[in-house]
Structure 1
Amino acid sequence: MKKKSHMSWSWIFIVSFFVLSILDFRFGILGFVCMGAPVYHALRGRGKVHCSHYCPRGSFLGKFLQKVSLNKTMPKWMRSKVAKNVLLILMLTLLTVSMIHAKGNFYKIAFSLFRFMGASFIVGIMMGIIFKPRSWCIVCPMGHGTGLIKKAKDSKNKKKDKKNKIAA
């Protein structure tokens, strides 16, 4: 049975996140949910199902940028594994530095997550206007990271299956 996509309405979550976080930065802590959900799905062996069925950011970009997008194709270099790896490492580094500077302070952590999510959201909107609406989804560090998790899990399972065949 094919899983139902929630992409037509999941954009409400990202809008709610930003509205709540602007009203009170403590809601920025919900950024961990936004980053944790795709990892959860990947660790459960579902690969990038979050990207195609649940992602609030992708839902927002696809729904609201259709009419304003220039619909250009992203340059090939931006879609390369090297570019995706660089972006993933950059984003992880920025988040890590931000968390270190927060020094365990809940308010600072929440604000850092809000700022981190906001910056990537703005970049995603700019990319969606210049290129196709969901261009961010092509380079999204969470999507790329979950793809790497899936690849690693598949490789581990293949090795385990091969070992079991030899043992049998």
Structure 2
Amino acid sequence: MNFSFFSFLKKYSYIILIFFIIAGMFNPTIALTAIICMIGPIFLAFLGKGRFWCGNICPRGSFFDNVIIKFSRKNKVPKFLKSKLFRTSVIVFMFYMFGNGIYKNWGNIVGIGMVFYRMIVVTTFVGIILSFFYNNRTWCNFCPMGSIASLISYFKKDRKKLTVSSSCISCKLCKMTCPMGIVPYDYKGNPIDHPDCIQCGKCINICPKNAIR
């Protein structure tokens, strides 16, 4: 993969989200393009890339990392927001609301576009509000598509993983910077096998020993 390209996306793809929200107010059919961000993380997870989409391509993730982070309190995300029960409940609720909206508007392209638009706007708003109380990536801990990608990654044992070398000194800087609440130094001498690792690279950048690769 061309990491300079993905570095660009990581930094600026939030512009796509802003354009999407503004343009969608005037033409809801534009919101149909959101299907890309629904399929993308699952597709890459099936390819063995883990949650790479979430940490490097997702426009909303970029928005949280480059804009909302400036206002976030950066507090630890509560465990219940990461729990299997909560994440499963969010998936069921979101898919029910989405499916019901599509069913009611079937044959009406503008109406279907509005279903996509409302879903993206509401969930982005929820993510923004939670960022004011916890860290900027709080939403990503229970994002439906991210959770599904995480589940796929759990069973893809040959997926792409970061590795923590034996030169790790357990300084805990990686733990403090991980937006997903993962503790990289716990994997000293091994790959980071946590399925929720979004491969954002923050632990790599902050490691004083360059022990994470």
Q: Which interval holds the TM-score relative to the shorter structure?
A: 0.7 to 0.9
Q: What is the match of residue 85 of structure 2?
A: 82
Match of 1:118 in 2: 121
Single out whichever of 17-26 and 109-118 deviates more from structure 2: 17-26
Match of 2:146 in 1: 143
Matches within 5 A, 1:1-168: 3=3, 4-5=6-7, 6-154=9-157
Q: Structure 2: state its 5+ residue gaps.
A: 159-213
Q: CA deviation at 1:39?
A: 2.0
Secondary structure of 2:53's counterpart equals helix
Equivalent residue number for residue 161 of structure 1: none
> 1:71 Cα shift?
2.1
Structure 1 residue 60, shift from structure 2 partner: 0.2
Report the Cα offset of residue 33 of structure 1: 1.6
CA RMSD of aligned residues (A): 1.9
| CA distances 1:12-51 after superposition (whole Å, capped 9, x unpaired) | 1111111211121111111112212212212322221101
TM-score (norm 2): 0.67
Percent same amino acid among aligned pairs? 27
Distance in 2 (CA, whole Å) between partners of 1:68 and 1:52 is: 19
Cα pair distance change 1:83/1:2, threshold 3 Å: farther
Other-structure match for 1:164? none
User: Could you say what secondary structure the match of 1:42 adopts?
Assistant: helix
Task: Tell me, in whole angstroms, the C-alpha distance in 1 between the residues paired with 2:64 and 2:77.
Answer: 15
Post-superposition offset of 1:63: 1.2
The Cα shift of 1:136 comes to 0.8
The structure with higher relative contact order (CA 8 Å, sep 6+) is 1
Q: Which runs of 4+ in 1 moved over 6 A?
A: none
SS of match in other structure, 1:71: coil
1:159 corresponds to: none
SS at match of 1:133: coil
Question: When the two structures are superposed, what TM-score results if normalisation uses the length of structure 1?
Answer: 0.84
Give me the whole-angstrom Cα distance separating, in 1, the residues matched to 2:136 and 2:145: 18
Q: Which has the higher helix share?
A: 1
Instruction: Give aligned pairs, total.
Output: 155
Quote the offset at 1:80 in angstroms. 1.2
